Structure 1
Amino acid sequence: MKQPNFQKSLIAAAVATLLGSPAALAQQNENTEAQDGKLERIEVTARRTNESLQEVPVSVSAFGEQELEQSGIEDITELQFKMPNTTFQVSRGTNSTLTAYIRGIGQQDPLWGFEPGVGIYIDDVYVARPQGAVLEVLDVQRVEVLRGPQGTLYGKNTIGGAMKYVTRELTGYNEFEIKGTVGSYNQRDLKVSGQTALADNFYVGGAFATLNRDGFGEFVNTGDENYNKELMTGRLNAKWLVSRDVSVKFAADWTEDDSNARGGHRLLPSLLSTEPALDDVFDSYTAMPTDNTVETEGYSATVDWNINDAWAFKSVTAYREGYTDTNIDFDSTVNPVLLVPAIYEDEQTTQEFQLSYGSDRFDFIGGLYFYEGEACGVFGTVLGLLDLTIDNGGCVDTSSAALFGQGTYQLDEQWAVTLGGRYTRDEKDADVYRYTYAGVKFLDRGDYSADPIVVNSDFNTKEDWSKFSPHASIRYQMDPSLMFYASYSNGFKSGGVDMRADVSLNPDAQNPYDPEVVDTFEIGVKSELLDGRLRLNASTFYSDYQDMQVTVQRAIPSGVASQVLNAADSTVKGVEVEGTFAATSSLNFTGSIGYINAEFDEVAFFNPDTQQVEDVSGLWSFANTPELTANLGFNKEFSLASGSLVWSAAVAYRDETQIFEVPSPLDEESYSIANTSVVWYSNSSNWTVGLHAKNVFDEEYRLSGYNFGSTFGENIVTGYYGDPRTVSLSVGYRF
C-alpha cells in the first residue's frame, strides 16, 4: 500500500525563509512538476469539538500517529524539538517527571501541592501532577499542543497552554499490532496493541509496552546504572454503543517506572571527596541507594449523547492516583553531604458535564467541572556531615468547581465572533510540618525514634479563591485558503501553600500565596497557498503576566530555606511561524521558528539573610525559555518493488537557556540536535521496519540541575543532561 505523503505534520518550516518572496512562491509553483501533492486536512479538538486546524483561531500544533512513528518519537518530551517557544523535558533527578513550559510559563518545581502552568490531558481527563507525566507514545492517535492561556474551556493551570494526548478510537474492527525494538545501550522494547468487537455494539481494545535500556552511564562507586530505563505501561478500553445516539467509553491506564534515580554531573570540583572528577556527564557518585519507583493509574467513563441534530451532551467521570518513592543525591559525591529521600502520593477525582449546540451560524459549548484532589508527601534533607536531618511533609486537599461557556457566531460568510468565560472557585486546606532531628534519619525506613530537636513548622491553613477567565476572538475568512484572527485570553494558575515552609526562618511562610494571572493578546494568520501545497501559519502575542508565584530555595547553615511569593510581574511577547510545504507528491519540508522576549518588570524578593524585601528584577531572567527556537526537516518517500521507503531528517535549534531565574553555572549555551529515520512499509501494509538515529552528532546539552553553590562544606552544583546519540531498529507487524 502506498503510504500517504505525511502531510499531517503541523510543525513547519520558516518556509518564507526557504522560499523567499511571493514572486518566488509563484515561480516555485510553475516549476513544480507534480501538482497532486496537496496537504491533507488536519482536524483538532482545541475548542472541545472537531474542527479544521486552519479554521481554529488558536495557536495549536498537532502530531498524528504516523508522523510520530516515522520520526521514531518515544515520549512526549521529544516534541519540544518540533514546536516553537515550547519546553518539554524530563525533570532533574527523575526519569518520568515532566517539566513543561510554553511561552515562558510553566512549573519549575515538581513538589507535591504545587500547580503546573501547562495542563496535561489524556483524552478529556486532566492530569494534575507532573510525576509520571512523561507519557510514552503508545495507543495514541495524535498529540495536540495548544499555546497560550486556555482558561475558558480547559480551566485553571493552563495559563501557558495545554497538551492533549488523544488515544486511538475503538472502531470494532479486528486489529492487532506488535512491535519490537532493539538499540543503543541495550535498548529492548516491546509494544503490543489490538482491538476487536465482542458484540455488534460492544468493542474492546488494549495496549501494553515494556521499555528497557541500560544506563548511559553508571554510579562509579556502586556500579549501579545511571540514566537507565525500566518501565511498563498499559491501557485497556471499551466502547458500548447503547443506541444510535448514546455511547459509553471506559478506559483504564497504568504505568510503573522502576528506573534508577538519576545522578547528576558535578560542575565544580569537590572540596571534600578524594575521588577523581568524572569526564562523562552520565557518570556520577552517590552516597545513598539509587532506588526509585513511580506508579500511576487512571480510570475514566465518558458518556456521549446526541440529543438531536443540534444538541449534544457529554459526561466525563475520572479518577487518577500516583505514588513516587525516590532518592536524590544533590551533591553527587560518596559523602552524605546533601541527600534527599522523598515519597509523593496523590489522587484526584474529576467530573465534567458538557452541553453543546451547533447550527449553521451559531456554535456553543458549556458545562460544569468539579475536581477533588489530595496531594501528600514527605522528604528528608539529610545533612550527613552535620549529623542533622530535616523532615518536611504534609498534605494539601483541593476542591474546585467551575462553570464555563463559549459560543461562536457566524456574522456572515467571512466574519465570526467568539465570546466565552469560565468562573472557578478553588478551596485548599493544607497541613505542613518541618522538624529537625539530630543524626541521620531516612524517613520511616529505619528504627529512628528520637524526638526532633527543633520544630521549624507545624501548621494548618486554608484559603479559597474565585476567578473569572474571559475569552474573546474575531475571525476573518478572507477566502477558503486564508484566515486572519485576533484574540484575547485570560488564564490563571491556582494559589496554594508552600509545602516546604520554614516558619522559624520566615514567619510569613505559612500564609497561602494567591493565583497568578496572565492576559494574552494574539494576532494570527492561517493560510494554504500554492494550490493547497503550502500551509503557512503565523502569530504574534503579547502577555501581561501578574502575581507570578516565585519559588526560591537557598542554602543556609541549618538547611535549605524555601519560600513561595506572589512576587513578580512581567511582560512576555513573541512571534511564532509554522509551515509545511509539499514540494512534490513524495517530498515534504516542515519546520517552525519561535522568538520570545520575556522580561521581569518587578520582583519583590524576601531575603532571609537581611530580612528585607528587595526588587531583583534587574538580576532575574525567565527560566527554561530560550529566546529563539527553530526546526527544519523533510521527509521523502521512495517507491520500491517490495513496498515504500520513507526517509526523514530534521535539525532543531534552541538558543541559550537559563535553568533558574537567577544566572548560574548551570545555564546552557545554544545547541542543535539532528535526528534522522528510515522506515520501510511492505506492499501488504502488514510489516514495517524502522531505523532511527537520535542526536546524530552526539551533542552534549544540559537540561536542568541543582545550584546551591559552596555550602555545607561542599560545592553543590550538579547538572542533568539530554540523551546522547542513540540508534534503534524496530520491526512491527499489524493486521
Structure 2
Amino acid sequence: MAQTTEGSGTDSAQTRSGKLDEIVVTARRREENVQSTPIAVSAFGAEALEERNMQSSSDLTNFVPNVQFDNAASESGGGASSQISIRGIGQTDYVVTVEPGVGVYMDGVYVGKSMGSLLDTVDIERIEVLRGPQGTLFGKNTIGGAIQLFSKRPTSTLEAGAELTTGSYNRFDAKGYISGPLADTVRLRLSGAYQSRDGFVKRTTPDGEPTGERQGNMNRLSGRLVLEADLSDNLMATLALDATRIREQTPGSILLKANDEDGLPYLFALGVPGGVCLPEAGDSRFDNPYCYNSQYVTDLDSKRTATSGPNQSDTDVKGGSIVLDWSGGAVDLKSITAYRDVQVDIGQDLYSSPYFFGTIEQDIDWTQFSQEFQASGDFADGRLSYVAGLFYSHEKATQYFPVDLLLVQFLSGGKVRNDSYAAFGQFTYEATDALSLTLGARYTIDERRFNPGLQKLVGYDYDPTLEIPGFVNVIDGAFGAPGSPLFPAGWYKRTSKSFTPMITASYDFTPDVMGYASYSKGFKGGGFTMRYFPAVVPEPGTDPDDIISYAGPEKASAFEVGLKSELFDRRLRLNVAAFYTDYKDIQVTYVIDPDGEGPIGEFVPVLANAGTAHIKGIEVETSFVPTEWLRIDGSLGYIDAKYVSFTEDALANFPNAESLSLPNTPKWTAHVGATLTMFDNDSGHLFARGDYSYRSGQYKEFSNEPSLYQEAYGLLGASMTYEAASRAWQLTVGGTNLTDETYIVSGETSSEYTRGFVSRPREWYASVKFSF
C-alpha cells in the first residue's frame, strides 16, 4: 500500500521516521485516512508505484489480493484493452455492446469500455483499488469494484523532471514534466512520455524459420496537461487534457489447440486436392504444411507462432475534463464535465497458419460525454457528513468488425447509443465517539440502443496468404448471396432501472483499531450480442425486436466485515476483510454452433445471462516497519467461488456447466515485498526493493477449456536505487519476472482452435531520473 506523508497526500519511498505514515484516500468521495474508511481499499502513491516498477494499471494484479487484471482482453488484438476481475466478478469480452464489471476512473471520470481502459502510470499521484460492489457512489459497472487513478497536480513553485530508461528488447522510455505557476492564481502541469520495446513472440515460416516479424511490442506516446485556476477565494477550476497514441503489433499469441475434424478447418480440408488433409489421411496430414491441424500448435514457452496475417494494433485515446470546486463552508459543490474519445484500428490472424487463415479487424470509434454534480459537507458539529449528486453519461460507438476467413467473409459489428441517468446520496452519522453509521443509495436508469444494420455477408473469395494449387471452396454460396444482411437493420432498445443501496456500521475499539460491517448492492449494465453469422432471418410476421439477443443486467449483493488496525506505535498495519457475495444473472460470453447440426461448429460468441454464483473469501493486507531501514509489505487473498444454478440455454450448450469454475478467479493470491535501506546520509540514499507475487490456478474463459487453464505461478521482481544526497538525480537498475515464468494472460477458444496471449519473459531495465 502507498505511504503518504501525514496531511500531505504524497507518499515517500521509505518511512525514514521508523513509523508508518498516514494513507489518505477518496474511496467515499472525500479525503479520509484509509484506516478509518470502512471499505476494503488498497492505495499506492507515486513513489510506491515507482518502487514496485508498476508501468501500467494492469500491474495492480501483482499487489492487490483477489484482483485479476489482464492487460489484453481475449480476441481484442490490443487496443489498450483489459479484462479485470475483482473477487470473481468481471468481464472477458471487449466489444462495445458489453459492459465491464470493474469500473476504471481517471481523475474522477469513468472510462466506460474495455478498449482504452489500460492506463499507464506516467505522472500518476495515486491509485486506489476498491474491492466489492461500489454501486452507491460509483454507479453501474462497479459490481466487482472500482479502480481510481489520480494525476499529479500543478505545483505552486516551479518544478521539472526527466527520466530515461533502457532495458531488454531494445527498451527505450523517456518521460518528463514541468510544473509551476503561470500567475498568482493560475498553475500548470505538463507531462509527456514515450515508451517502446521490441516484440517477444517470433513469427515463423511453416518449417520454423523466423520471418523477421514479431508480436507483443510496445510503442506509445502520451501527454497530459493540467491547468488549475483560482477563480475566486472559494472557487477553483481545473482543466485536464490527455492523449495517448499507440502504434503496436498485436499482443503475443500462441496457438494452443487446433482441430481439423470440425467446423471450418474440416471444410477447408475438403477443399485441398487429393483429400490429403482429411482425417482419413492419417498421420501424414500432420507433416503437410497445407493442412490445418496440431502441427502448428506450440508450447507457451516457445514464444513463436506460424501466424502470417495482419499484425497491427493502433489506438488513439483522447480525453478532457473541466472540474469546478466551490467551497461554501457547510456545503461544498463540485461539477465534473468530461469527454473521452477512443479510436481503434486492429488487424490480426486467429488460426496461426500460413495457408488456412482467419483474419479479424477492428475499426472502433467510441465517444463518451459525462456530467456529474456533487454536493458534500457536514452538519451537527461535524457528526453528520454527506455526499449527494446527479450523474449523466451519453456514449456512442461504431464498431466495424470485418471477419475475413479463407472460405467466407462477412462484416460484423454495429452502432451503439447509450444513456445513463443516476441520483445518489450517502450519509454518515457519528452516533458516538466510537460508533459511525453510513447509509446510502443510488437509483439508475440505463438506456441501451444497438443497430446491427452494417452487418452483412461479404463474399466467398479465396485469397490466401499462401496459395494451395487446385484448392476448391466447398461452401461457395452456402450462406446466401454477397451483400445479404446478417440481422435486420434498425435501432433496438432496452431500458433497465436499478436501486443500489448500502449500509455500513463501523466501531473504533481503540484509537488504532476499527471494525466494520457492511451490506452493499451493485449492478452491471445489460448488453446486446454483437456477432451474428450466418444470417438470422425472422419468420414471416416475427418482430426482429422479439428475437434480438440481449443479456440483462447482472446483480450482486455483498456482505462484508473487516478490521483495520495500526499497532506497536504505528509500526504495524494489519487490515482484514471477509466477504460473501450473491452474484445473479451472470453475463457470460461463450461460443455456440449457430446452425445447429450445420457445418460451422462452435464458432460464434454470444452474450447471455447464464446463472448464479456464491462467492466468499478473505483478504489480509499488512505493512511492518521493524526498523528505520526495513519495511515489509504483504497481502493474502482467498476466494471460494461456485456456480449454484444455470439457465436452460446455458445447460443446453454446456451440460457440465454446474461443475465449471468461474474464469479469472484464482483461489489464492499473495504478495510479499520489502524495501531495505543500505544507507541514507550525506553520501546519498541507497535502497533495494524486492517483490514476489503468487496466484493459484485459474481458467481464462467460461467453458473451462483445458488448454486455457493457467497453473499456479509466482513472479519475482527486484531493483536497487541510488538517490543523490541533493535529491537532484537517482539511478535504478532492476529486473522483472526474474525466474522467467511463462503464463497465459488471456485467451479465446472455439471448437476449431484455442489461442492464448502469453506473458512477457524475464527483462532487465536501468533508469536515470533528474529533478530540477
> What TM-score does the superposition give when structure 2 sets the normalisation length?
0.86
- Residue deviations 1:110-153 (CA, integer Å, cap 9, x gap): 11121000000001100001212211111110100000000000
Q: Return the alpha-carbon distance in structure 1 between the equivalents of residues 672 and 231 of structure 2.
A: 47
Range with greater deviation from structure 2 (533-542 or 162-171)? 162-171
Paired residue for 1:632, among 672, 677, 686? 672
Give yes or no for the alignment of 1:349 onto 2:369.
yes
Distance 1:263 1:637, change over 3 A: closer
Query: Amino acid of the residue matched to residue 587 of structure 2?
Result: Q
Judge which range, 432-441 or 227-236, deviates more: 432-441
2:313 to 281, 284, 292: 292
How many residues align? The count is 689
Distance 1:596 1:506, change over 3 A: farther
Residue equivalent to 1:679: 721
In the TM superposition, residue 639 of structure 1 has moved relative to its aligned partner by: 1.5
Q: Does 1:104 align with 2:93?
A: no
Q: CA deviation at 1:8?
A: 5.1
**Does the CA-based 8 Å contact 1:472-1:488 persist in structure 2?**
yes
Partner of 2:270: none
Correspondent of 2:460 among 417, 426, 439? 439
Structure 1 residue matching 2:738: 3-state secondary structure: coil
Show CA shifts across 1:139-175 (max 9, x none). 1101000000000000000000000001112222111
User: Counterparts of 1:340 and 1:428 in 2: how far apart (Å)?
Assistant: 26
- State the partner residue of 1:140: 124
Deviation at 1:509, TM superposition (A): 5.3
Question: Residue 266 of structure 1: which of 242, 246, 255 is its match?
Answer: 255
User: 2: distance between equivalents of 1:682 and 1:43?
Assistant: 28
1:380 matched to 2:402:
yes
Superposed displacement of residue 506, structure 1: 9.6
Once the two structures are overlaid, the 10-residue window that deviates more, 335-344 or 288-297, is 335-344
Greater RCO, 1 or 2 (C-alpha within 8 Å, sep 6+)? 1
Partner of 1:75: 56
Q: Label 1:62 to 1:635 Cα distance change in 2 as closer, same or farther (>3 A).
A: same
- Following the alignment from structure 2 to structure 1, what is the Cα–Cα distance between the partners of residues 534 and 2? 57
Could you list the per-position Cα deviations for residues 593-650 of structure 1 after superposition, in whole angstroms to 9, with x for gaps in the alignment? 000011111122527xx9x577644232100010000011111112155301110101
More displaced stretch, 640-649 vs 500-509: 500-509
Q: Measure, in 1, the Cα distance between the counterparts of 2:21 and 2:416.
A: 47
Q: Is the 8 A contact 2:574 2:621 kept in 1?
A: yes
Q: What displacement does 1:97 show?
A: 1.1
Determine if the alignment matches structure 1 residue 653 to structure 2 residue 694: yes
Aligned to 2:214: 225
Q: Give the whole-Å Cα distance in 1 for the aligned partners of 2:164 and 2:356.
A: 41
One-letter amino acid matched to 2:666 = P
Write the distance in 2 (CA, Å) between the matches of 1:71 and 1:372: 37
How far, CA to CA, are the matches of 1:371 and 1:276 in structure 2?
46
In the alignment, the residues of structure 2 paired with residue 684 and residue 129 of structure 1 have an alpha-carbon distance, to the nearest angstrom, of 44
Report 1:377-456 matches (<5 A): 377-384=399-406, 386=407, 388-433=408-453, 434-440=455-461, 452=482, 454-456=484-486
Query: 2:253–2:756: 8 Å Cα contact kept in structure 1?
Result: yes
Contact 2:589 2:605 in 1 (8 A): yes
Give unpaired runs (5+ residues) of structure 1: 10-33, 443-449
Report deviation, 1:504.
4.6
Relative distance call for 1:486 and 1:441 in structure 2 (3 A) is farther
Q: Please identify, of 428-437 and 58-67, the stretch whose mean Cα deviation from structure 2 is larger.
A: 428-437
CA distance in 2, matches of 1:266, 1:363: 55
Residue 85 of structure 1 aligns with an amino acid whose one-letter code is: N
Deviation at 1:417, TM superposition (A): 0.2
Alignment of 1:123-162 (within 5 A): 123-162=107-146
Does the 8 Å CA contact 1:344/1:375 hold for their aligned counterparts? yes
Residues 241, 248 of structure 1: 8 Å contact kept: yes
CA contact (8 A) 1:605 1:614 kept: no
- 1:294-313 correspondence to structure 2 within 5 Å: 294-308=315-329, 310-313=330-333
CA distance in 1, matches of 2:459, 2:534: 19
Tell me, yes or no, if structure 1 residue 600 matches structure 2 residue 640.
no
Amino acid at match of 2:337: T
Map 1:717-732 to 2 at 5 A. 717-732=754-769
Counterpart AA for 2:456:
Y
> Which residue in 1 is equivalent to 2:339?
319
Question: Which residue of 522, 534, 539 corresponds with 2:572?
Answer: 534
Cα RMSD (Å): 2.3
Distance 1:417 1:228 in 2: 50
Check 1:683–1:482 CA distance in 2 against 1; reply closer, same or farther (3 A cut). Answer: same
Name the aligned partner's letter for residue 579 of structure 1: T
**Contact 2:519 2:560 (C-alpha < 8 Å) held by counterparts:** yes
In the TM superposition, residue 663 of structure 1 has moved relative to its aligned partner by 1.9
Partner Cα distance (1:503, 1:370) in 2: 37
Shift of 1:291: 2.0
User: Which letter does structure 1 place at the counterpart of 2:424?
Assistant: F
* Equivalent in the alignment of 2:167: 183
CA distance in 2, matches of 1:493, 1:462: 17
Work out the CA distance in 2 between the residues paired with 1:509 and 1:108. 24
Change (3 A) 1:700 1:531: same
Counterpart AA for 1:132: G
Return the offset for 1:501: 4.1
Following the alignment from structure 2 to structure 1, what is the Cα–Cα distance between the partners of residues 768 and 592?
Answer: 50
2:233 maps to 244
CA contact (8 A) 1:86 1:101 kept: yes
C-alpha distance in 2 between matches for 1:6 and 1:88: 19
Contact 1:263 1:332 in 2 (8 A): no
1:238 CA displacement: 0.2
Q: Indicate which of 510, 522, 528 corresponds to 1:491.
A: 522
- Identity of matched residues, %: 34
70-79 vs 556-565, greater mean Cα deviation: 556-565
Aligned to 1:22: none
Instruction: Decide which of 198, 202, 215 is 2:182's aligned counterpart.
Output: 198
Q: Give the corresponding residue for 1:370.
A: 392
Q: Does 1:51 align with 2:32?
A: yes
TM-score (normalizing by structure 1): 0.90
State the distance in 2 between where 1:561 and 1:214 align.
33
Deviation at 1:46, TM superposition (A): 0.2
User: Does the 8 Å contact 2:96/2:397 carry over to 1?
Assistant: yes
Over residues 73-95 of structure 1, what are the superposed CA-to-partner deviations in whole Å (9 max), with x where a residue is unaligned? 21111111101000111114326
Q: Name the counterpart of 2:267.
A: none
Q: Give the 3 Å change call, closer, same or farther, for CA 335–619 of structure 1 in structure 2.
A: farther
Q: What SS class does the counterpart of residue 79 from structure 1 fall into? A: helix
**Which segment drifts farther, 557-566 or 179-188?**
557-566
Q: For the residues of structure 2 that align with 1:247 and 1:40, how far apart are their CA atoms?
A: 29
Contact residue 100 and residue 113 of structure 2 kept, 8 A:
yes
The Cα of 1:717 is off from its aligned counterpart by 1.7
Maintained 8 Å contact 1:113/1:375:
no
For residue 158 of structure 2, the aligned residue among 161, 174, 180 is: 174
Listed one character per residue, the Cα deviations across residues 318-370 of structure 1 (whole Å, up to 9, x for unaligned) are 00010111012111111243221121110000000000012420100001000
The AA in structure 2 aligned to 1:416 is S
CA distance in 1, matches of 2:258, 2:421: 51
Contact 1:498 1:509 in 2 (8 A): no
Is the 8 Å Cα contact of residues 79 and 344 (structure 2) preserved in structure 1? Answer: no
Residue identity matched to 1:457? F
Aligned counterpart, 1:463:
494
Aligned residue in 2 for 1:13: none
1:337 aligns with 2:337: no
Structure 2 residue matching 1:519: 3-state secondary structure:
strand
